[in-house]
Structure 1
Amino acid sequence: MEQLLGIILHTIGGFSSASFYVPTYKIKKWAWETYWILLGFVAWMIMPTVGNLIVTQNAMDIYRSTAGSDLFYTYLFGALWGFGGLFAGLGIRYMGLALGQSVSLGVCSVVGTLVPAIMNNSLGRLVSTQSGWIITGGLVISIVGIVCCGVAGHLKEQTVGKGKVDGNTEFSLTKGLIIATIGGIMSACMAIAIMFGEPIAKAAVATGTAPIFMNIPIFAIALAGGFTTNFIYVAIRSRGHNYLSNLGNTKLPEFGKNYLLAILAGVMWYLQYFFYGMGSTKMIGYEFASWCIHMSSIVIFSNLWGLWLKEWKGTSRATMVYLVVGILLLIISILMIGWGNYAVGF
């Protein structure tokens, strides 16, 4: 069944996205900005080029046969997506990790699913067909699952973190909600960039690329936009610091190890969209719903990593109930969206 393969591919992508940060825990004596821009260069510039080389015969032919406006909007919304992570980070600063991340991810999931549906005139089918109702139900359950995981994370912060969020002098629920919502909307711009990149995918098939790989060339353009945004941000942050110059500081004993770990993290980061691109080709009829599956998978594996790393040790029974219920709801939402795509043919 094609939809089952699509779910598997999206799940692999979600696992890769949720796991990419793990190698960075071992990076020493580098600021976040230093390894982030190296990680980003690998993930957003080098790996998309490698991906093209693997799946296409001549990527330049694909881009030359695509209208300049389509390339521009794919790049533009990729750049806007780059701002999403920055705003989401500020939301976490004002509300704490659990609440800030939950708001951003929830908004990102809804906007990244519904806006592309509006763009390709599929929104009506979500509320007027049996398959559409199933997918809509999956989206709603996904949001509830994200909320449950967010509540669990908030309770964890209050118990294990000894109330650090409440003791944070910068804590502001109103300001945090506004900024985290903006972060979620802008993070969803990647889904919009993919929609604008559909002519690139069609050109890829026309030039001989296998249909399952047709979305891969989109990411070379969209992620270049994201790299532009992040590079400008890090360059500004580097003024008066050594964030960028540290990349060439070979005297640091951890120099080689830090490079390898950052490169590994960058490769893992890119793989989320490599598998996302393949998985969305199997969601026939409701390709835009792939975004919800992707976000749900990320939340599932992020929390499973937290369990594996014993980050939830010492939490209350109620906290674990919220977490388990949230993960189960997210799994159900993924299966429902896959079922809804399967039901299109009936």
Structure 2
Amino acid sequence: MEFFPLVLIIFASVFQGSFGLGMKYMAPLKWEAWWLVHVTIAMIILPLAWAYIAVPNLSEVLNTSFSDPSMQSVVFMAMFFGFLWGIGGILFGISVPYIGLSLTMGIVMGLAGSIGALVPLLQMENATSSPQFPYVIAGLAITLIGVGITAKAGIDKDKLKTESTNEKSNILKGILIATACGVLSALLNVGFVKATPIAKLAEEMGAIDRNASLAAWVIVLIGAFIMNAGYCFFLLFKNNTWSSFNVAGTSKAYKWAILASIFWFGALGVYGQGAALIGPIGGVIGWPMLLGLSLIVSNFWAYRAGEWTEAKKPFNLLLIGLFVLILASVILGYSNSII
């Protein structure tokens, strides 16, 4: 793999692993109010703003994508997978209070990275006969092993916590929610790969290859936004929490919502550029690398936040899991050099 695309994916992983920090600072906003602010900025404002700056004739690209009968099926599928991912995004927000940021990120990132790479790989022509195939499969398998180890570390940590505080454990419920989230979250990358013709169209209209991916993200994230915003509005009406937007002391929560949005779409935008530079297999190799490496970043923040305090043995197990994930990323990176 060339060095620059690798740097972009590592850089994106720092953003991806850091955005969850904002969820620790929602109060006094209600979840649905904070999340609506976050997704509006992350899925609509930032993608459009960046794409308008970096993609010439973006309006024409979008108009053609929606109006050209040959492109409409591409748009529909990209938005559909984005919509399904949106369900996973909501489940992510639900699972963190149950099992903490470390374990949630471990399960979600591992499953999303593996499935999100495997589906596009198997849809490629002659994928199984490619010399890269065994390395990619090995990398994905090792990724799942790393996720399993980190999940075990989280379970052990939770046991220590419940034994010392006599609190009721929600570990099983949280793991089930996070697992469903991981499977659905994989579909964001599937949608991105499905939207490749939109990126190609942007290239034909003057965008450089790595920036053309931003046009694809705009389409995918429209579907994601519809799901997320729709659920937020449902909760705002159901719980009658509209007043949450005006509660005193919300400035810090708004700042974190904005910062989390920048981190979240910054990760996707930079990842898209790195994947584009890798080539046709970029969405297969880059995605699990992004999520595997971001898991290391998220656990660094979780450690700083005290999630692993007085849990030395589980933390040592976590470190083993993170090492395995780094090994998986190295193998996936090496696979792109195989001809």
Q: TM-score, normalised by structure 2?
A: 0.88
Q: Equivalent residue for 2:228?
A: 230
| Residue segments in structure 2 that go unaligned for 5+ positions in a row | 66-70
The verdict on how the C-alpha distance between 1:74 and 1:101 changes in structure 2, with shifts beyond 3 A counting, is same
Aligned residues, how many?
Answer: 333
**Structure 2: distance between partners of 1:28 and 1:89:** 14
Q: Equivalent residue for 1:185?
A: 183
Structure 1 residue aligned with 2:128, among 97, 102, 124? 124
Counterpart AA for 1:117: L
Q: Secondary structure of the residue that 1:215 maps to in structure 2? A: helix
CA RMSD, aligned part only? 2.6
Q: Equivalent residue for 2:15?
A: 16
Q: Equivalent residue for 2:338?
A: 343
Q: Equivalent residue for 1:79?
A: 83
Q: Equivalent residue for 1:213?
A: 211
The verdict on how the C-alpha distance between 1:24 and 1:56 changes in structure 2, with shifts beyond 3 A counting, is same
- 1:230-249 matches, cutoff 5 A: 230-247=228-245, 249=246
CA contact (8 A) 2:79 2:191 kept: yes
Show CA shifts across 1:187-234 (max 9, x none). 111111112100111011111111121211111111111111011111
Structure 2 residue 304 is the aligned partner of structure 1 residue 308: yes
Q: Which moved more, 1:289-298 or 1:84-93?
A: 84-93
Structure 2 residue aligned with 1:290, among 277, 286, 289? 286
The verdict on how the C-alpha distance between 1:240 and 1:197 changes in structure 2, with shifts beyond 3 A counting, is closer
Structure 2 residue 317 is the aligned partner of structure 1 residue 322: yes
Counterpart AA for 2:195: G
The verdict on how the C-alpha distance between 1:185 and 1:341 changes in structure 2, with shifts beyond 3 A counting, is same
Structure 2 residue 159 is the aligned partner of structure 1 residue 135: no
**Structure 2: distance between partners of 1:17 and 1:263:** 14
Structure 2 residue 268 is the aligned partner of structure 1 residue 267: no
Show CA shifts across 1:43-86 (max 9, x none). 00100011112211121211233311111111111011101133
CA contact (8 A) 1:283 1:338 kept: no
The verdict on how the C-alpha distance between 1:266 and 1:243 changes in structure 2, with shifts beyond 3 A counting, is farther
The verdict on how the C-alpha distance between 1:308 and 1:88 changes in structure 2, with shifts beyond 3 A counting, is closer
Q: Equivalent residue for 1:156?
A: 157
CA contact (8 A) 2:89 2:228 kept: no
**Structure 2: distance between partners of 1:296 and 1:272:** 13
**Structure 2: distance between partners of 1:343 and 1:134:** 9
**Structure 2: distance between partners of 1:161 and 1:54:** 50
Show CA shifts across 1:161-201 (max 9, x none). 54789833x6657x954x54433222111111112100111
CA contact (8 A) 1:90 1:176 kept: no
Q: Secondary structure of the residue that 1:281 maps to in structure 2? A: helix
Structure 2 residue 327 is the aligned partner of structure 1 residue 332: yes
Select the structure that is richer in helix.
2
CA contact (8 A) 2:203 2:209 kept: yes
Structure 2 residue aligned with 1:197, among 185, 195, 198? 195
Counterpart AA for 1:196: K
Q: Equivalent residue for 1:110?
A: 114
CA contact (8 A) 2:105 2:295 kept: no
The verdict on how the C-alpha distance between 1:163 and 1:58 changes in structure 2, with shifts beyond 3 A counting, is farther
**Structure 1: distance between partners of 2:183 and 2:158:** 25
CA contact (8 A) 1:157 1:164 kept: no
Q: Equivalent residue for 1:69?
A: 73
Q: Which moved more, 1:283-292 or 1:207-216?
A: 283-292
